[in-house]
């Protein structure tokens, strides 16, 4: 992996922040700057005997991410949803990270809008408030009015956000690659996979047309608006870096005092949240994956039957029908304490290798599940069950499942929100009939017929081609032209590794030669002194380049 100059400068800046927050061990573990990483110990700030007592490691990591800027803050937030990968103290501390950055000037927003539409914002909108309603690391939101009088919100990407994110993603990939190479625990934490997952998520958030499409899909799925209302998207005004939606009004779901003051039935509101989640995951197979309290409001016009209002649709999730089936089966089997079924479902789904012994996996699942049942059903957390289950599965070589990570994150948000609204919420009471009915419907003759009807055109077309395929294969066999191709990706990987090893060896030889030659020139006073010193400096730099370009 080759590190670009701008990434190298950023790596140096990151290293300085880590040192300032007493996190040198991270730089040392990842070999972030190669041999130069040891120079940090020459700084008085790293002399352990002069340091004050260290704060907890979670707090130090959180503060370092805050100092590194918005992209690292969002990365920390993403990591906080992975308690299957991180120690609990670090995950809990990272959950405190706030995606709250100072707003950029309204005049800059108007320039971005003018570029997007090819005309000034004052011509596009009858009224545009330059003071933002909210500001985050990716975009900020302004109030506006269309010429037909409709009240809207305008979401505008931050200036140069693409360049900033591209640079920092490059740095994160570089750090992950170094960690994969040098960090002993990289196999368990899979830093490259985690960064790849984050890369896809944040890159998707940069396309506001994608977010608008997500909002439109959710709005269609909940067209009746009885339990969840999704604002209307005004497509004529949407661009990749500008999105316009209906302006809504509601009480923030976290403002429980106001909800109680208006006699909102919090038990109904909490149950609606659970129903909305399971409806999105199993009925629609399209779920809002960023449902933290800042993105949810409540319409309290009917306190007995309040309605959720959702905003910010940059992150959504879907599951394959196979994942849906096995997830529902896992949850039902868990509450029946059928741990053998849970283990078998994991193997059948392909989440863990086929070679996994069911009895060993079952025993591990029982060990982490039984303590959960010491609590009343209303206190049992689906989200934490999935976290514990995935932690166990990771020990049996379950790879990262991005779709399940988003689901786990959403479920934890929904549970936390539901129990904040109504502490006695029994998720199982709401979820069990939903899951049982869904599983029954999936096995019904009508559902099987519907799936067959949907796939019949492709199946029929394939069946028509079978005779021709058979005739062609027999002809090639008779004529001796039938060939078998064996894919050997391992050999290709081995060849690449040999070439890389040879390149690294050559660079180290060059670096050593420069260092030795320079020392001789200086020591023997042969030739210009500057040439000797230049060789002495160039030697170690060649080694650093070799290590950073792995």
What amino acid positions are annotated as catalytic residues?
290
The Cα 346–Cα 362 span in angstroms is: 10
The Cα 419–Cα 327 span in angstroms is: 23
DSSP, collapsed to helix, strand or coil, labels residue 299 as strand
Q: In sequence order, what are the beta bridge partners of 64?
A: none
What is the residue whose two structure tokens read 């800059």?
108
For residue 479, which phi and psi values (nearest 5 degrees)?
Answer: -90, 0
Helix pair angle (382-395, 402-421), 10° resolution: 150
547 contacts: CB under 8 Å, gap ≥ 6: 31, 34, 35
Looking at 419-544, which runs of residues are DSSP E strands? none
> What b/e string do you get for 262-276 counting C-beta neighbours within 10 Å, with b at 16 or more?
eebbbebbbbbbbeb
Closest CA to 171 of 195, 206, 189: 195
Q: In sequence order, what are the beta bridge partners of 152?
A: 144, 246
Encoding tokens for residue 460? 């029929």
Closest CA to 549 of 483, 478, 501, 492: 501
The Cα 345–Cα 326 span in angstroms is: 6
| Beta pairing, strands 228-229 & 307-310 | parallel
Rounded to 10 degrees, the C-alpha dihedral 331/332/335/339 comes to -80
């Amino acid at each position: 992996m080759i590190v670009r100059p701008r990434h190298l400068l950023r790596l140096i800046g990151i290293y300085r922040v880590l040192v300032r927050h007493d996190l040198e061990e991270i730089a040392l573990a990842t070999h972030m700057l190669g041999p130069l990483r040891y120079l940090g110990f020459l700084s008085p700030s790293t002399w352990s005997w002069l340091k004050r007592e260290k704060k907890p490691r979670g707090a130090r990591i959180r503060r370092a991410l805050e100092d590194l800027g918005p992209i690292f803050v969002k990365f920390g937030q993403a990591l906080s949803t992975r308690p299957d990968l991180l120690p609990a103290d670090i995950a809990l501390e990272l959950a405190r990270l706030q995606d709250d950055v100072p707003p950029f000037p309204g005049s800059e927003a108007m320039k971005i809008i003018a570029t997007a539409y090819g005309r000034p914002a004052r011509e596009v909108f009858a009224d545009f408030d330059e003071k933002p309603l909210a500001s985050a690391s990716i975009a900020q939101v302004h109030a506006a009015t269309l010429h037909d009088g409709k009240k809207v919100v305008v979401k505008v990407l931050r200036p140069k956000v693409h360049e900033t994110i591209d640079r920092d993603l490059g740095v994160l990939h570089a750090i992950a690659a170094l960690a994969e190479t040098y960090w002993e625990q990289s196999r368990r934490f899979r830093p490259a996979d985690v960064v790849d997952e984050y890369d896809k998520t944040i890159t998707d958030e940069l396309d506001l047309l994608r977010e608008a499409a997500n909002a439109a899909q959710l709005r269609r799925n909940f067209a009746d608006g009885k339990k969840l209302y999704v604002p209307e998207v005004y497509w004529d005004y949407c661009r990749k870096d500008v999105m316009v939606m209906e302006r809504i009004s509601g009480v923030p779901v976290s403002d429980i005092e106001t909800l109680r003051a208006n006699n909102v039935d919090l038990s109904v509101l909490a149950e609606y949240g659970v129903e909305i989640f399971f409806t999105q995951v199993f009925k629609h197979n399209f779920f809002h994956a960023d449902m933290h309290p800042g993105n949810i409001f409540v319409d309290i016009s009917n306190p007995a039957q309040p309605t959720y209002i959702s905003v910010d649709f940059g992150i959504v999730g879907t599951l394959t029908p196979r994942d849906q089936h096995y997830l529902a089966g896992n949850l039902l089997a868990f509450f029946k304490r059928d741990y053998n079924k849970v283990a078998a479902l994991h193997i059948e789904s392909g989440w863990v290798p086929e070679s996994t012994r069911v009895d060993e996996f079952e025993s591990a699942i029982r060990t982490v599940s039984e303590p959960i049942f010491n609590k009343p059903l209303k206190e049992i957390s689906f989200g934490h069950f999935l976290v514990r289950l995935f932690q166990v599965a990771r020990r049996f070589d379950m790879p990262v499942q991005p779709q399940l990570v988003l689901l786990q994150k959403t479920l934890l948000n929904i549970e936390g929100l539901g129990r904040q609204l109504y502490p006695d919420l029994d998720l199982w009471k709401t979820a069990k009939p939903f899951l049982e009915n869904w599983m029954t419907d999936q096995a019904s003759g009508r559902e099987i017929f519907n799936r067959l009807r949907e796939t019949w055109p492709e199946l029929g077309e394939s069946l028509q081609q079978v005779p021709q395929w058979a005739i062609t294969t027999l002809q090639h066999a008779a004529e001796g032209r039938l060939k078998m191709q064996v894919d050997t990706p391992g050999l290709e990987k081995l060849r690449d590794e040999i070439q890389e090893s040879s390149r690294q060896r050559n660079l180290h030889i060059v670096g050593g030669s420069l260092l030795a030659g320079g020392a001789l020139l200086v020591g023997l006073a042969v030739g210009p002194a500057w040439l000797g010193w230049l060789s002495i400096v160039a030697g170690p730099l060649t080694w650093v380049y070799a290590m950073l370009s792995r």
